């Protein structure tokens, strides 16, 4: 017996979901470590949302389609990796994907079969897409879930790194999610791998690479 | 990703306790006394990532590759109880990369008296106090002090300098633990180190024989609920498997 897909999507968006997310910062700790000031965090978030995050969201949408139609997912993973040039970012996403897949293995065992052809641990958007396919989450909700989760993760980390009023953090999440709202319907309709956005964020990718080499950090990436 | 089969699964031994009580040093001591006979791995959970891992690597007690650090997002408590994913994956990686391992030691980031490991992460756990933290800490109780598999009262060599009566502290701890194991330890006291070694080997032995059952010390210590309507002004209440259902219905409250 499963609850409605809407409930599953809320569960997946909940930061308390035990899948390893609390040790991640969506690139925010790397940015702050590189000298980004707190007042520039909204700009960082909206830049992340329309680049890295939308690539992930589109990847999740394509994976959902592939899982529903029993199509191969390896080409989707390759397309995602090609659009995520930072190894540190790919590693962080695979850590998250592995944690989420581990949980999914307990709750929705069939999710793993959609990703079985992949050699290593799948990146997070592929796991999210496969869960969406198996739990009936629609594409547009999946896109919003991917964006919300990434932004909320960054802001939760912000409260640890540059402590401020948590209510300000909530406003930041809402603002960042709203900033890409116009693109969401288009991303949700994607059916071709070639149309996954290829919006790079080279500065943030460089920060992620530098962060991965530091020995003093609170977050994985 | 499939779980590692029970035959290749190491004993996972957690080491928790407040900051500065000597968790890293205890792990180094365990490694020193057992590295010749057991295949060991270590995972550290730091606030600032790899401080403890670097300490252990520099202690030279294990190959550096067998000591790994995980990030905890400034929540060492969460990483060993509410969301153990990162530690589970690190343990599975160590067990895969150095198979077969006998014991994986998992060091929690120093936290307060309420931080204990989830039994889904470790098979057994040691809670570490030290004499320098004060002789009365053992009496204060808490899930780790009360119900960890072993309570270590560490740095007994410092007792004369901090005015702590070690036998008294051990007696207080034994009372709080209702007879569960307590060990007064100093890394410079070889007899106590030998006792620690024997304890680890005995847990490993019962783990291998399949007779060891992981215990959950619980996230909360027994605590007092004030209630003016009750004859004694309230009642003492614990959160364990033996918690009477009627009590939890009577006084529902969050443990977060």
Q: Residue range A83-93: average pLDDT?
A: 97
How confident is the model at residue B232, as a pLDDT? Answer: 65
> Chain B contact for A197, CB < 8 A?
no
Domain edges within chain B: 6-209, 224-256
Q: Is B182 helix (H, G, I), strand (E, B) or coil?
A: strand
Highest-pLDDT range among A159-163, A175-179, B5-9, B226-230: A175-179
3-state secondary structure A10-45: HHHHCCCCCCCHHHCCCCHHHHHHCCCCHHHHHHHH
| Contact across the interface for B48 and A217, Cβ inside 8 Å | yes
Distance, CA of A39 to CA of A43 (rounded, Å): 8
Distance, CA of A84 to CA of A98 (rounded, Å): 17
CB distance A123 to A99 below 8 Å: no
Q: Residue range B60-75: average pLDDT?
A: 92
| Contact across the interface for A18 and B86, Cβ inside 8 Å | no
CB distance B82 to A18 below 8 Å: yes
How confident is the model at residue B243, as a pLDDT? Answer: 40
Residue A53 reports pLDDT greater than 80? yes
The architecture that CATH gives domain A5-10+18-205 is: Orthogonal Bundle (1.10)
Across the A:B interface, residue pairs with CB atoms under 8 Å apart total 67
Q: Is A133 helix (H, G, I), strand (E, B) or coil?
A: helix
Q: Is A203 helix (H, G, I), strand (E, B) or coil?
A: helix
| Contact across the interface for A216 and B48, Cβ inside 8 Å | yes
Distance, CA of B173 to CA of B167 (rounded, Å): 10
- Class of CATH domain B6-209: alpha beta
Tokens of A7: 């409930």
How confident is the model at residue B256, as a pLDDT? Answer: 35
Residue B253 reports pLDDT greater than 60? no
Please report residues of B whose CB lies closer than 8 A to that of A157: 73
- DSSP H helical ranges for chain A: 5-13, 28-33, 41-48, 54-69, 74-82, 87-107, 111-114, 124-135, 139-161, 166-179, 184-188, 202-212
Distance, CA of A167 to CA of A165 (rounded, Å): 5
Average pLDDT, rounded, for chain B: 85
Interval A96-122: pLDDT, tens: 999 999 999 999 999 999 999 999 999
> Chain A contact for B58, CB < 8 A?
no
**Higher pLDDT residue, B176 or A190?**
A190
Interval B78-132: pLDDT, tens: 999 999 999 999 999 999 999 999 999 999 988 778 889 999 999 999 999 999 9
How confident is the model at residue B241, as a pLDDT? Answer: 41
Residue A69 reports pLDDT greater than 50? yes
Give the containing element (helix H, strand E) for B130.
strand B124-130
Distance, CA of B145 to CA of B217 (rounded, Å): 9
CA A1 centroid distance within chain: 28
Q: B87 to each of A73, B22, B69, how far by Cα in Å?
A: 28, 21, 9
Residue B6 reports pLDDT greater than 70? no
How confident is the model at residue B179, as a pLDDT? Answer: 86
A42 CB neighbour count, 10 Å cutoff: 14
Distance, CA of B12 to CA of B9 (rounded, Å): 8
**Higher pLDDT residue, B34 or B142?**
B34
Binned at pLDDT 50, 70 and 90, residue B240 comes out as very low
> Chain A contact for B102, CB < 8 A?
no
Share of chain B above pLDDT 90, in %: 63
Give the predicted TM-score (pTM) of the model: 0.84
CB distance B71 to A220 below 8 Å: yes
Q: Is B99 helix (H, G, I), strand (E, B) or coil?
A: coil
How confident is the model at residue A54, as a pLDDT? Answer: 98
> Chain B contact for A99, CB < 8 A?
yes
CB distance B172 to B139 below 8 Å: yes
How confident is the model at residue A211, as a pLDDT? Answer: 96
How confident is the model at residue B101, as a pLDDT? Answer: 97
Interval B185-237: pLDDT, tens: 999 999 999 999 999 999 999 999 999 989 888 875 455 556 666 666 666 65
**Higher pLDDT residue, B18 or B5?**
B18
Cis status of the peptide bond prior to B100, with omega within 30 of 0: yes
Domain edges within chain A: 5-10+18-205
Distance, CA of B128 to CA of B196 (rounded, Å): 12
Average pLDDT, rounded, for chain A: 96
> Choosing among B4, B52, B54, B86, which should be mutated to test the A contact, i.e. which has the most A CBs within 10 A?
B86
How confident is the model at residue B1, as a pLDDT? Answer: 44
User: For residue B78, what is the nearest residue in chain A, using CA coordinates?
Assistant: A22
How confident is the model at residue A215, as a pLDDT? Answer: 83
| Contact across the interface for A102 and B49, Cβ inside 8 Å | no
Please report residues of A whose CB lies closer than 8 A to that of B85: 18-20, 99, 102-103
B188 CB neighbour count, 10 Å cutoff: 10
Residue B163 reports pLDDT greater than 80? yes
Given the cut 0.90, state whether the ipTM is greater than it.
no
Q: Residue range A150-174: average pLDDT?
A: 95
């Amino acid at each position: 017996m499963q609850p409605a897909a809407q409930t599953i999507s809320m569960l997946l968006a909940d930061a308390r979901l035990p899948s390893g997310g609390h040790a991640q910062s969506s690139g925010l700790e790397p940015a702050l470590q590189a000298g980004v000031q707190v007042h520039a965090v909204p700009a960082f978030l909206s830049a992340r949302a329309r680049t890295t995050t939308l690539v992930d969201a589109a990847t999740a949408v394509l994976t959902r389609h592939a899982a529903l139609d029993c199509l191969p997912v390896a080409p989707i993973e390759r397309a995602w990796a090609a659009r995520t040039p930072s190894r540190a970012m790919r590693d962080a996403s695979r850590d998250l994907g592995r944690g989420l897949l581990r949980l999914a293995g307990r709750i929705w065992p069939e999710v793993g079969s959609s990703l079985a052809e992949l050699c290593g641990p799948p990146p997070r958007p592929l796991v999210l897409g496969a869960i969406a396919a198996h739990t009936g989450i629609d594409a547009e909700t999946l896109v919003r879930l991917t964006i919300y989760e990434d932004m909320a993760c960054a802001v939760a980390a912000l409260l640890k790194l540059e402590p401020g009023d948590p209510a300000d953090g909530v406003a930041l999440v809402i603002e960042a999610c709203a900033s890409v709202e116009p693109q969401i319907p288009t991303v949700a309709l994607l059916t071709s791998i070639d149309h996954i956005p290829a919006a790079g964020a080279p500065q943030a990718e460089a920060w992620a690479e530098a962060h991965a080499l530091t020995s003093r950090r609170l977050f994985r990436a | 990703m499939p779980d590692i089969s029970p035959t290749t699964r190491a004993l996972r031994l957690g080491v928790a306790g407040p900051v500065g009580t000597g968790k890293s040093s205890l792990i180094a001591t365990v490694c020193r006394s057992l590295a010749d006979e057991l295949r060991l791995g270590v995972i550290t959970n730091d606030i600032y990532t790899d401080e403890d891992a670097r300490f252990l690597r520099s202690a030279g007690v294990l190959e550096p590759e067998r000591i790994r650090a995980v990030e905890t997002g400034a929540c060492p408590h969460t990483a060993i109880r509410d969301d153990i994913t990162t530690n589970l994956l690190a343990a599975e990686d160590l067990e895969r990369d150095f198979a077969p391992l006998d014991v994986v030691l998992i060091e929690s980031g120093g936290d307060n008296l309420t931080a204990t490991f989830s039994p889904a992460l470790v098979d057994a756990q040691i809670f570490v106090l030290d004499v320098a933290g004060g002789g009365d800490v053992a009496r204060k109780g808490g899930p780790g002090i009360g119900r960890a598999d072993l309570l270590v009262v560490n740095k007994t060599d410092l007792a004369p300098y901090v005015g702590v009566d070690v036998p008294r502290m051990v007696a207080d701890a034994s009372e709080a633990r209702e007879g569960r194991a307590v060990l007064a330890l100093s890394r410079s006291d070889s007899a106590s180190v030998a006792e620690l070694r024997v304890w680890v080997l005995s847990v490993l032995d019962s783990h291998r024989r399949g007779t060891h059952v992981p215990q959950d010390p619980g996230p909360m210590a027994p605590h007092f609920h004030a209630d003016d309507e009750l004859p004694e002004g309230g009642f003492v209440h614990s959160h364990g498997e033996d918690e009477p259902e009627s009590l939890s219905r009577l006084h529902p409250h969050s443990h977060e």
